[in-house]
Amino acid sequence: MVALLSGPSVSSGTLLTINSGCDLPFFDYWFLLFTFAFLLIMDELIAEEIEVEFARKPGPPTSFIWQNKIYPIKRVLHTWVDTKFGTMEKGRWWQRRHRTYYHVLTEAGEEFEFYQDRGKKYVWILYRRLSD
């Protein structure tokens, strides 16, 4: 989507004409433009349960299965532990998150983040696909 702009000098309150012929206040135009750009570069939130495979335990994950497709892991780029309270400002010690996050690069060149939730159930969650 490319918009052709015309109109007088660009300043606050100036109306811009987009190729469709509609007039937008300058602020609204830039808000829409930045929102559209943000959506293009935003990471893809997935938040689905996955299976993770290991060559040996303890050790780094070697692949994961998501939607019946195996994603071999080329390299673990970063790992970290989250024991914060999430969106709560403060809580009891047992209400903390107990997650180990992995930022990985697959053999196909895709980057993903997933974590093991060590709370009530030991489940693996594919958190997001990171944009290129």
Task: Give the Cα separation of 104 and 66 in Å (integer).
Answer: 14
Query: Do residues 28 and 3 make contact, with C-beta atoms less than 8 angstroms apart?
Result: no
Q: What is the pLDDT, as a whole number, of residue 86?
A: 60
Running along the chain, 132 residues long, what does each successive block of 10 average in pLDDT? 43 47 54 54 80 90 96 95 68 68 95 87 90 63
Compute the radius of gyration of the chain from its Cα atoms. 22
pLDDT of residue 75: 95
- 92 is written with which tokens? 């009891």
